[in-house]
Amino acid sequence: MLASFGLPWLFAVVLPFAKMRSLDPVEYEEGGEVSGVYTPKRDGRITEGSRIYGQEGCYQCHTQLIRPTYAGWDVHRDEWAGLRVSADNSEDTRRETLATDFQDEEIAHVGISRLGPDLSNFGRRIDFYLKKGEYTPEEWVLLHLYNPRGLANYLDDQRVPEKSTCPSKGGMFDEVPTYRAGDDALPLATPDGLAVVPNDRARALASYLLSLKKDTLRNPLPKALNFNPEAPQAE
Amino acid sequence: MSETHPTTETNDIELRSAIDRSLRHPVMFFFTSGALWLAVAIVFGLIASAKKHAPQFLDTFSWFDAGKIDAAHMSALIYGWGCSAAFGIIIWLMSRLSRKECTSAGIILLAGHIWHIGVLIGIVCILDGRLSSGIGLMEFPNAVWIILLFAYVLITVWSLVQFQVRDAGHVYVSQWYLLAALLWFPWIMVTAYLFVFAFDGNPLMVAAIAAWFKNGLFLLFFLPTALASAYYLAPKVTGRPVYSYNLALFGFWSLAFLGPWAGMERLMGAPIPQFLPYVGAAAMVLILVPAIAVGVNILKTILGHDDVVAQSPSLRFTVSGIVLFMVFGVLSFGLHTVTVMKMTQFSYTGYGLDILAIYGVFSLCAFGAIYFIVPRITRREWLSRRFINWHFFLSVYGVASIVICAIVGGVIQGQGMEDLSQPFATMAERSDSYGWGITLAWGFMLIANFFFCVHLLLMWARLGRRSSHPTLFQRHHSENPHGPEGEIDNIGSATA
Amino acid sequence: MDHTRDNPLKRFNAFWVAILLVTTFGIGCIILRPFTLGNDNAAYEAASEGRLAIKNEVLKAEAETLNVESLNDQMASLAKTLHSGEPTQGAMPVVIPAPAPAEAAPAEAAPAEAAPAEAAPTEDAPTEDAPTEETPTETNPESSN
């Protein structure tokens, strides 16, 4: 029985774990616009935010995995995999998830189900589509965490519906007197003299969510990692 | 304690009575505390499911937020109810089959309390959120796992000792499964703990190993325990031997070879070594093989004894559990092909299969075992036939509803997701009705569990019927369908 | 009780065999741990190559142009003459009246840049600076950073 358990233990758990720990860096091809090796570029409170994302159980309803087409059509789903700003594919930043995409996180929050949209490029969507002059990305995310049903459109045809089933994370916000809130107060209608202020966990989570930009904008893929098919010349 | 040959009938009964007496405190503790955790888990499941289609439900309590309550629900179901019931069954069954009294009841009872305190701390940490680990099904904080493993060893090492010092003779099929469960559980848990918490590595592999652990918990711990109980009760209650020894052997080894590979199909499409999800999916597809082997074996054992199955609560629950295991095998076969997984990988379907495994297969078999074991260790009979009946029908109806709603709902969800002409919001709204179905079904399970809990607590309080006739589903019977071996052992003193 | 199979010694052995079996794969994980370590910094190291090359080049160039003996000689000769001469009067700082408020911002930047020069040893001729009346007190905390 040791063998029947030991073989999968070795080949499915130990060896792949060792192999994935020390991945070879992928170099850009010669003569391209970018040289060197491919490194993920993310900023924000990733480690801490990722932990809070797990603690709040966001992975139960959201995924962070853009699967290759043999396993699903995620790449083509509206803006999940990146931006498709123009119809002729000239600005198309979509890509599948890569092994380095979860660097600095303790665990990859691949997710259990999609009761909510995939979040791999949530940061990208928010940055790009937030209508000017309404809210800053951080404000929008904090408002969403506070009450997902309070915010409607953030972009033209992708709505967070009024029937969103995302939970309101009231526990991550405090109600304080206005004079103590200062800049941190959320732009909400509150009773006189009170303001709603995010606590540090909310801020870390918002920072993490805004760092979710796993596409090729300003970080192109080397040929070796580019599994996208060649774009057709005319659509 | 008998000093003469254990082969004579009276001495056998004395030995069994002594074994039951030595174990009654730990086993009753595990069953009652497990039943209470099951109630908690079902309430959490109800809230979790309600939150998915009515997010304002109870949203003033941040402890009941959607993601955290889901995690608390599964953890309470698995570590609170599942492990507790499994421990009770394992230690009683191993004791009986090895024909050894338990000499460490005190330590087991203490360790059981430690286990439950650990689970309680873990669940509180999950609900509060600031100390949980955020890793699927391993959300308890780091230190709690150490406590649980320590408690586990103290609970179960005695059963391993009993097996090794058993009298020479036949090794029962149940004993293989018990031994396997006892060893597989720490193997997967320690491996998962070390790779997820202690060693650091690529986060994707950490997620893969957590998924491997999730499947391993069911296939390599809960399922073998359920099968051990089934392989004991089916021959015992019908009075016939197991249908085929070779088939039993085949069923066991096919599970042993397939089980440890399963799990990583939950990460199909992730950038991990590609053979891992494929091997996991293949293993889950092939689970049909041991499912059919075991199912055929057990069902053929009870073939022709429909009246016994109808009358005996333990056998009815057990047979339902085994039938649902075959259903699980078929569903696993159908749902783990890549074309179907494209749709269902991230939908309700996974939840449905998990609940089928934990509640449909394991819990029903565990109920069967509990309805058999408790009268023997408390020396009382169950009070109400009706309670058992309602528990049975509501449970089966409930679990069937959840599984059907979840799997069908998941397929619909998946279709909606693959259909790129539909915006995501439409797809999300379409699965609402299935969410309602699941919530309703948990409501039925809650009622079922209420009957079970009340009944069990009454037995625990020694308020059961003093009788030599077991509580069976039909009012009149001329012959004890449990057979002569099934009589409550009334030999010996009746003191506590 | 069958003494040939069940006695306290056998139970003791069985207990430790059980413990060993239970911890088998845990021990396996710990034993194999050193083999699984690998180099998880490979990408970072590869990406740093260019930067490190430049840094080493710069350090090398600086080391080459740094003429330690000549510096030492200069300092030795200076040290000898330091106490020999008469103290000479330094030039008084030129006082310019405070500018109008609109120009206050650029004027504040200039003293900040001039202050480090002022802090250098006064062996060199006092540099041409344009401090305002407030600068000595205002910029002192800045010059000490």
From the list B449, B369, B353, the residue with the least C-alpha distance to B402 is B353
pLDDT confidence of B480, banded at 50, 70, 90? low
The structure tokens listed for B30 are 């595990």
Comparing B235 with C35, which gets the higher pLDDT? B235
**Highest-pLDDT range among A167-176, B77-86, B239-248, B305-314:** B77-86
Does A25 contact C43 at a Cβ distance shorter than 8 Å?
yes
Burial class from Cβ neighbours inside 10 Å (0-12, 13-18, 19+) for residue B479 reads exposed
* pLDDT tens, position by position, B364-403: 999 999 999 999 998 888 888 888 999 999 999 999 999 9
Residue C122 banded pLDDT, cuts 50, 70, 90: very low
Using CB atoms, which residue from A2, A5, A37 is nearest to C43? A37
Whether residues C25 and A37 touch (CB distance < 8 A) is answered with no
> With an 8 Å Cβ cutoff, are B184 and A12 in contact?
no
Contacts of B354 in chain A (CB under 8 A): none
Average pLDDT over residues B188-210: 91
Nearest Cα residue in chain B from C5: B165
Tokens of B229: 């109980």
CA distance B206 to chain A (A): 6
- Is C25 an 8 Å CB contact of chain A? yes
CA distance B266 to chain A (A): 8
Apex C90 CA angle, C86 and C96, nearest 5: 170
User: Has the ipTM of the complex gone over 0.95?
Assistant: no
Chain C adjacent subunits, 3+ CB pairs under 8 A: A, B
pLDDT at B417: 82
Contact B190 C29 (CB under 8 A): yes
How far apart CA B51 and CA A62 sit, in angstroms, is: 15
Chain B contact for A102 (CB, 8 A cutoff): yes
Whether the predicted pLDDT of B310 surpasses 90: no
Confidence class for position B57, pLDDT limits 50, 70, 90: confident
pLDDT band at B187 (very low <50, low <70, confident <90, very high): very high
Average pLDDT of the residues in B178-201: 92
Tell me the average pLDDT across B456-466: 85
- What pLDDT is stored for residue B490 in this prediction? 45
Interface check C38 vs A, CB under 8 A: yes
DSSP sequence for chain A: -HHHHHHHIIIIIIHHHHHHHTPPPPBPPTTSSS-SB------SSHHHHHHHHHHTTGGGT-------TTT-SGGGSTTTSS-B-STTSSSB------GGGGTT-SS----S--SS---TTHHHHHHHHSPTTT--HHHHHHHHHH-GGG---SSSS----TT--PPP-GGGEEEEEHHHHGGG--S---STTEEEEE-HHHHHHHHHHHT---S-TTSPPPGGG--SPPPPS--
pLDDT computed for residue B445 by the predictor: 92
- Token pair 């499994």 in the structure block, residue: B86
Q: How many CB pairs under 8 A join A and B?
A: 223
For residue C26, give the 3-state DSSP assignment: helix
Residues of C in contact with B100 (CB under 8 A): 6
Cβ pair C49:A24 closer than 8 A? no
Residue B29 confidence (pLDDT) above 80: yes
Chain C nearest C-alpha distance from B435 (Å): 40
Give the end-to-end CA distance of chain B in Å, rounded to a whole number.
17
Q: Which residues of C touch B160 (CB under 8 A)?
A: 14, 17-18, 21-22
Kindly tell me if the per-residue pLDDT of A223 is higher than 90. Answer: no
- Which pLDDT belongs to residue B429? 77
Banded pLDDT at C118 (limits 50, 70, 90): very low
| Least-confidence region, from B35-44, B101-110, B484-493, C79-88 | B484-493
- Of C139 and C6, the structure prediction assigns the larger pLDDT to C6
User: A74-78, B48-52, B202-206, C58-62 — which is least confidently predicted?
Assistant: A74-78
**pLDDT surpassing 70 at residue A153:** no
Q: Which pLDDT does position B394 carry in this prediction?
A: 93
pLDDT-derived band at B4, boundaries 50, 70, 90: very low
Q: Which domains does chain B have, with CATH numbers?
A: 13-471 (1.20.210.10)
Provide the chain A residues 171-210 that lie in CB contact (below 8 A) with chain B.
171-172, 201
What pLDDT, on a 0 to 100 scale, did the predictor assign at position B121? 95
Is the pLDDT at B343 greater than 90? The verdict is no
Instruction: Among C5, C17, C22, select the one facing B153 at the smallest CB separation.
Output: C22
| Helix-helix angle B83-98:B364-378, to 10 degrees | 60
- Give the side-chain half-sphere CA count within 13 A for B25: 15
Contact by Cβ (8 Å): A112, A60: yes
Give B64's DSSP letter: G
CA distance B68 to A84: 35
A26, A37, A38, A98: best mutation site toward chain C, by most C Cβ within 10 Å?
A37
What is the per-residue pLDDT for B492?
Answer: 39
Q: What is the pLDDT of residue B16?
A: 87
- B168 touches C: beta carbon within 8 Å: yes
Of A87-101, A207-221, B443-457, C117-131, give the range with the top mean pLDDT.
Answer: B443-457
Predicted pLDDT of residue C115: 45
- For residue B222, the model assigns a pLDDT of 96
Is the predicted pLDDT of residue B31 greater than 50, yes or no? yes
A106 in contact with chain B, both atoms CB, cutoff 8 A? yes
CB count, 10 Å around CB of B321? 26
Closest CA to B137 of B30, B223, B217: B217
Q: Residue range C70-91: average pLDDT?
A: 84
Please write the tens of the pLDDT for every residue from B249-280: 999 999 999 999 998 999 988 888 889 999 99
CATH number for region A34-225: 1.10.760.10
Cα angle: C20, vertex C22, C25; to 5 degrees = 90
What pLDDT score was predicted for residue C2?
55
- DSSP type of residue B465: B
Return the amino acid letter for A208: Y
Interface probe with B: pick from A11, A19, A22, A60, most Cβ of B within 10 Å: A60
